Amino acid sequence: MTRAVLTHPRLVSLEGGEGAGKTTAIAAIRACLQARGHEVVLTREPGGTPLAERIRDLLLDPRGEKLEAETELLLMFAARAQHVRQVVRPALQRGAYVVSDRFTDSSYAYQGHGRGLDAEWIAELERRAVGLKPGLTLLLDLDVREGRARISGRDLWPDRIEREQDDFFERVRAGFRQRAAAEPERFRVVDAGRPPAEVGAAVDAALAAWLDGQA
């Protein structure tokens, strides 16, 4: 049986590399949606439910045995399957907007482009375990070294993925940009190399224009 991945207009995702400024952007998205009278559910991946947050801890813990790329991918989708069923779909069904700090595009970028896993396998997991994708994805695009510089002062104890080398993050960034170019109707790319207030304003403008286009 062929399973489709349905685009949901009230599911909005935020993507980007490390230190891209997703926290500022999420505040701008929430303010813009609430000003229009919408209920907003903010969530994140990996995570978003108690079980998925425990999977997140496993994924990001730098201690212990090496996590194989395939294990990493399957854990990302285990967390996502739980998150979609317990949080995302119920919220969408009652009419709320769901704003997710990362969603399936991160798996294509990190596990596909970054780790070199087969995109067809990821697409199959997306069809079977997720079944929906955002109507709007805001990609905060930032130079890899700039992003690393931003978080270097913050993270005394970098997580497992943050310990990767620059070439890994360059592949991830290229992966995100490639996906944005392939689906221009879904993606809006925001230059995240500007000061926080400017990035927030650009996110707000992109979201407002997209919402006006839906009306």
Number of Cβ within 10 Å of residue 20's Cβ equals 25
Number of Cβ within 10 Å of residue 93's Cβ equals 8
Query: Which is nearer to ligand Z5A, 5 or 36 (by Cβ)?
Result: 5
Query: Which is nearer to ligand Z5A, 39 or 61 (by Cβ)?
Result: 61
Nearest approach, Cβ of residue 18 and ligand Z5A (Å):
4
Query: Which is nearer to ligand Z5A, 23 or 34 (by Cβ)?
Result: 23
Query: Helix 166-182 and helix 144-152: axis angle, to 10°?
Result: 120
Chain position whose Cβ is nearest to ligand Z5A: 21
Query: Which is nearer to ligand Z5A, 37 or 106 (by Cβ)?
Result: 106
Q: Any residues with CB less than 8 A from the CB of 85 and at least 6 apart, and which?
A: none
User: Cα dihedral sign for 86, 88, 93, 96?
Assistant: positive
Query: Which is nearer to ligand Z5A, 97 or 104 (by Cβ)?
Result: 104
Q: Give first-to-last CA distance, the chain, whole Å.
A: 34
Nearest approach, Cβ of residue 3 and ligand Z5A (Å):
19
Give the footprint of ligand Z5A on this chain (CB under 6 A).
16, 18-24, 45-46, 76, 101-102, 106-107, 110-111, 150-151, 154, 161-162, 195-196, 199
Nearest approach, Cβ of residue 37 and ligand Z5A (Å):
26
Residue at 26: amino acid letter? I
Residues 194, 20, 123, 50: what is their CA dihedral angle, to the nearest 10 degrees? -140
Q: Which of 114, 121, 126 is nearest to 45 (CA)?
A: 126
